[in-house]
Amino acid sequence: MVLSNKEKKYIILAEDDEDDRSFFKEAFSELKLAYDLRVAEDGFELMNFLEKPAIQLPQLILLDLNMPLINGFECMELIKKNERLKNIPVIIYSTSANLAEIEKSYSLGAHFYLHKPSNFPRLKEDIKKVLITDWEKEPIPKNKN
């Protein structure tokens, strides 16, 4: 069965750093997964897109914490308060290893906290792990990184 563009599964990455977006896009492309990748350059762009009533919702949101305009924590709060968006699994994707930020991410409803890896093979491995997990059936896990 071939899905139309409207029905194609996709994930969305909200990331303000151009180099990190490029790194992620390249890793995602090399994995040749059955998902499309869409990118928002900041939290404002992400929320503006997600709040459009006519869009098909993503299967997963990868969310950087440190972004201008609307940061990752603020996005999490907006997503989890919105009836239409609240069940979309959210994976925090951040350079921060601060325990308080990790705990806050989980308390706001993040399904997983992924520390941005420093090398390309690890990034590909992490993306694959995140995408093969059925987040709708998994309880919110504890971070194992």
Element (H, E) at 114: strand 112-115
pTM above 0.75, yes or no: yes
**pLDDT reported for residue 55:** 87
**pLDDT reported for residue 140:** 54
**pLDDT reported for residue 46:** 97
Cβ atoms of 40 and 108 within 8 Å: the answer is no
- Residue 144's pLDDT band, with cuts at 50, 70 and 90, is very low
**What is the pLDDT of the chain when averaged over all its residues?**
86
Cβ atoms of 41 and 15 within 8 Å: the answer is yes
**pLDDT reported for residue 32:** 84
Distance of CA 140 to the CA centre of its chain: 15
In the predicted model, is pLDDT for residue 115 greater than 70?
Answer: yes
